Amino acid sequence: MALEIPEVVIDRLPVYGRALDLLKQQGREVVNSQELGERLGVTPAQIRKDLSYFGRFGKQGRGYNVARLLDELNQILGLTREWSMVLVGVGQLGRAILAYDGFTPQGFRIIAAFDDDPNIIGTTVDGHLITSVDELAATLLERHAEIGIVAVPGATAQGVIDSMVASGVKAILNYAPIAAQAPPHVRIKDIDPVLALQSMTFYIKDQD
Amino acid sequence: MALEIPEVVIDRLPVYGRALDLLKQQGREVVNSQELGERLGVTPAQIRKDLSYFGRFGKQGRGYNVARLLDELNQILGLTREWSMVLVGVGQLGRAILAYDGFTPQGFRIIAAFDDDPNIIGTTVDGHLITSVDELAATLLERHAEIGIVAVPGATAQGVIDSMVASGVKAILNYAPIAAQAPPHVRIKDIDPVLALQSMTFYIKDQD
DNA sequence: GCTACATTGTGCGCGCGTGCGCAATCACGA
DNA sequence: TCGTGATTGCGCACGCGCGCACAATGTAGC
């Protein structure tokens, strides 16, 4: 049945999950695809189709049980466990990532942070002792981490990614402004505000 | 001819532009679609098709003049001018955004920064005097800005977005973890590392 | 100037994602 | 227990984006 699920579908599931989380906090027990769709700017059919890839979670005539559907989505996405991450690059951006309080509640924990600046190595940032990037591989041998975060300048980013891949990291969140290369079995997502800005200007450049 | 250009195409153009920029810095004068595609993980046909929406920029048998194509792309995307931005939210994330040196070289300048914390208002961060968010509208009346950056917690983000829209901002870069709503004439792009992580775990949760 | 070669620009078909529309199904009230 | 109303799950068709494959076209060498 669910042998080939489009990546766009997977990308939308966390969005549904976040909305359900909010509804749950508000004490809502049931929600239908129409209301969920309105909140997220998605058609109700889209939501129902997406969910149907994984099973039948709703009840006709009522809708979806909020807590139940949220649990199902977390199960599907693998969010019922903790995920360990390593951060490379403790500049201004890296510090903001270390300080960000949105990862932990969702089960993502930074277990080690690395840099190549001797002035930073050995210091403690937000409770994390900064280690030399040369020890990345050694550290990952004893303390396993599935996810790597790249917050270094573009020039050194690909090298960092290669090291992570070699050390068995399975997914990478890349903040560096490069077209990162990785083997097929390693997932990569880019966070790139400049690209986002540069495509928006196309649409607004001729307004008023 | 170019009456309806897919948004995915527009999203790829800045990626091409960045690669061309790099090639130009390396002194390359000509590049063909095959090499460009290999560097970016895109098929050569994709690149040629995308570019054909806007004109004929290549020469058969040779390829594309790097500097020429880069200029054309910048023209198409509206990157030949400066863009003014306002930032709302000067917490850890906002500070990292203010400190980020990747915006200015691409023509994006933050002209004002706002927060609602009395302890922060009046201070100077990276050369920017932090103003009360209550003065957002008034400030935008005298100093025009086309783009808004939202770096506040999710709970207050939609309100900030509404204010920006009311003040004539035409594009918004949203770092808050919400499904932001805005009228159709205002472009929005979300920067959301947690969503990126939560979709990647789907693919890596059953590995090894 | 002519030939051989390389690379673009694009018509076309394939495949996939989206949303419509309806039958199936469940809750609830009488 | 039965009927009514609401909402899901999903078959199907439409439309769009992607990439193939080839003709068009420019380059370079002789």
- Show which of A76, A94, A112 is a domain's final residue: A76
Query: Are residues A19 and A114 both part of a single domain?
Result: no
Per residue in A166-200, pLDDT tens? 999 999 999 999 999 999 999 999 999 999 999 99
For position A156, what pLDDT does the model report? 97
Query: Are residues B64 and B93 both part of a single domain?
Result: no
Chain mean pLDDT for chain B = 96
Query: Would residue B207 count as lying in a domain?
Result: no
Res. B3 pLDDT band, cuts 50 70 90:
low
- Whether any strand D atom is under 7 angstroms from the Cβ of A102: the reply reads no
Query: Would residue B118 count as lying in a domain?
Result: yes
Query: Are residues B50 and B97 both part of a single domain?
Result: no
pLDDT at A75 over 70: yes
Give the per-residue SS3 of chain B.
CCCCCCHHHHHHHHHHHHHHHHHHHCCCCEECHHHHHHHHCCCHHHHHHHHHCCCCCEECCCEEEHHHHHHHHHHHHCCCCCEEEEEECCCHHHHHHHHCCCCHHHCEEEEEEEECCCCCCCCEECCEEEEEHHHHHHHHHHCCCCEEEECCCHHHHHHHHHHHHHCCCCEEEECCCCCCCCCCCCEEEECCHHHHHHHHHHHHCCCC
% of chain B surpassing 70 pLDDT: 98
CA of A61 to C1' of D6 (A): 4
Query: Would residue B202 count as lying in a domain?
Result: no
Where residue B148 sits, what CATH number does that domain have?
A: 3.40.50.720
For position A149, what pLDDT does the model report? 99
Query: Are residues A90 and A181 both part of a single domain?
Result: yes
For position B4, what pLDDT does the model report? 86
pLDDT at A68 over 80: yes
Query: Would residue A27 count as lying in a domain?
Result: yes
Res. A4 pLDDT band, cuts 50 70 90:
confident
- What's the mean pLDDT in B21-36? 96
pLDDT at B1 over 50: no
Query: Are residues B167 and B118 both part of a single domain?
Result: yes
- Show which of B35, B62, B77 is a domain's final residue: B77
- Whether any strand D atom is under 7 angstroms from the Cβ of A52: the reply reads yes
Query: Would residue A203 count as lying in a domain?
Result: no
Number of domains in chain A: 2
Q: Which residue of B has its CA nearest to A153?
A: B102
For position B118, what pLDDT does the model report? 98
Query: Are residues A109 and A63 both part of a single domain?
Result: no
Domain span holding position A51? 7-76
Query: Are residues A91 and A131 both part of a single domain?
Result: yes
Query: Would residue B24 count as lying in a domain?
Result: yes
Residues of A in contact with B158 (CB under 8 A): none
pLDDT at B2 over 50: no
Query: Are residues A102 and A52 both part of a single domain?
Result: no
For position A180, what pLDDT does the model report? 95
What is the rounded distance in angstroms from the CA atom of residue B204 to the CA atom of residue B200? 7
Q: From the CA of B137, how many Å to the nearest CA of chain A?
A: 19
pLDDT at A143 over 70: yes
pLDDT at A2 over 70: no
- Whether any strand C atom is under 7 angstroms from the Cβ of B49: the reply reads yes
The identity of residue B28, as a single letter, is: R
- What's the mean pLDDT in B66-89? 98
Where residue B35 sits, what CATH number does that domain have?
A: 1.10.10.10
Per residue in A79-104, pLDDT tens? 999 999 999 999 999 999 999 999 99
pLDDT at B199 over 50: yes
Query: Would residue A202 count as lying in a domain?
Result: no
Query: Are residues A145 and A98 both part of a single domain?
Result: yes
Query: Are residues A52 and A13 both part of a single domain?
Result: yes
Res. A65 pLDDT band, cuts 50 70 90:
very high
Residue A127 burial (C-beta neighbours within 10 Å; 0-12, 13-18, 19+): exposed
Res. A1 pLDDT band, cuts 50 70 90:
very low
CA of A39 to C1' of C20 (A): 21
pLDDT at B128 over 80: yes
Res. B188 pLDDT band, cuts 50 70 90:
very high
- Show which of A28, A44, A76 is a domain's final residue: A76
Query: Would residue B92 count as lying in a domain?
Result: yes
For position A207, what pLDDT does the model report? 85
For position A3, what pLDDT does the model report? 57
Query: Are residues B106 and B88 both part of a single domain?
Result: yes
Query: Are residues A186 and A145 both part of a single domain?
Result: yes
Please answer yes or no on whether A79 and B17 come within 8 Å at the CB atom: no
